Structure 1
Amino acid sequence: MARFVVVLPLVPLAAGDEFTVADWPLHVTLVEPFATEHPAGLVADAVRTATTGAAIVRATAGEGAMFGRHRDVPVTLVRDGGQLASLRTRTLVALRRAGVDVGHVRTDFRPHVTRKHHGRLHAGDLVVLDMVALIDMRPPEGSHHRRVVAAMGLGA
């Protein structure tokens, strides 16, 4: 069974790009990881349907917070005018219409960027989210790797 996540990367990504878990590019998670029997192409088409015509999201980095089961994952919250929540809803609806069961989704969606060893956001930073990427969480390279299945630009 495949496992995917839908993200808005802060750096350009292209289909076929690979990275390790430790070197995830900074991103805002739009749809948390989900497992599906559907092929990657069908999932990518659903994400493309949801994001076609969607505007570039301009946001601001907010305060820091701690996420995760043990509240030990440092993140920076991202503030926008509601576009991220709207894009999330559109994407979830498109996935479900395509027959993709995304499983349990958080009802308390709080857009954020996880701090990484290679970068982070600081309060007040402007954030331009102009791309959506579908990431394979179980590529052939193994559990410590991720691969970009598809990347779609936002805005016309």
Structure 2
Amino acid sequence: MTRFVVVLPIEPLVVNAEFTVAQWPLHVTLVEPFETDVEVDTLDAALAPVAAATRPIPADVAEDAMFGPRRNILVSLVRDDGDALPALRAVAMTALRERAVDLGHTRTDYRPHVTAKGHGRVHEGDRLLLDTMALVRLRPPETSHHGRIVGSWRMGEAAGEAAGASVAEADARRPAT
């Protein structure tokens, strides 16, 4: 089983980029971590058209809150101008489930937010434009404490013209070593 998460990064993420847990790029989680045996190409095929069919989402950073079991993780809540984030979440989850992905127990109390990190954070009153969707493989076998971007798509772009690419496409472009 491989573990993944679907996020809306504050800044676009490049396929095959890796980062440590401490250096997670700032993002809004769209679909919380899930484990699956479904291949990355199948996950990409589910999510790319969702991103292509979704307009970028303007959002405002709202008040701070404390998350986590001990309420010790500082986050900034994010609100869009309607219900675009919950609606996108529902569409992405449906697309994954249609590809036989068991998402496990997803939260019913979805609260879009950006977690404050040592390297940065957002602040109340900031305006965000969420225009990229990314699929992150968590703790890939080659690096036990890293995340790796395995799919990244600009939202609102035709699937064939998306600025992002799947891992298979990125691997095909990578020079042989």
Q: With structure 2 as the length reference, what TM-score do the two structures score?
A: 0.86
Alignment match, 1:66: 66
1:95 Cα deviation from its structure 2 partner: 0.4
Which letter does structure 1 place at the counterpart of 2:113? Answer: H
Deviation readout 1:4-57 (Å, 9 max, x if unpaired): 000000012111111111000000000000000111111121111322210100
> Does the aligned pair in 2 maintain the 1:139–1:147 contact within 8 Å?
yes
Counterparts of 1:16 and 1:68 in 2: how far apart (Å)?
29
How many Å separate the matches in 2 of 1:101 and 1:49? 19
Q: Which runs of 5+ in 1 are unaligned?
A: none
Aligned length: 156
Give the partner amino acid of 2:128.
V
Matches within 5 A, 1:17-96: 17-80=17-80, 81-96=82-97
Per the alignment, in what secondary structure is the counterpart of residue 155 of structure 1? coil
Question: Does structure 2 conserve the Cα–Cα contact (< 8 Å) formed by 1:6 and 1:32?
Answer: yes
- Structure 2's unaligned 5+ residue stretches are 158-177
Give 1:122 shift.
Answer: 0.7
For 1:7 and 1:143, the matched residues in 2 are separated by 20
Give the 3-state SS of the residue equivalent to 2:25 in structure 1.
coil
1:126 and 1:138 map into 2 onto residues whose CA distance is: 31
User: Residues 49 and 94 of structure 1 are in contact (CA less than 8 Å); yes or no, is this contact kept in structure 2?
Assistant: no
TM-score by length of 1: 0.97
Contact 2:51/2:132 (<8 A) preserved: no
Match of 2:170 in 1: none
CA RMSD between the two structures: 0.9
State how far apart, in whole Å, the 2-side matches of 1:52 and 1:148 are: 18
1:62-105 per-position Cα deviation (integer Å, ceiling 9, x unaligned): 00000011111000000112111010000000000111111110
Q: Percent sequence identity over matched residues? A: 51
Counterpart in the other structure of 1:114: 115
Is 1:100 paired with 2:101?
Answer: yes
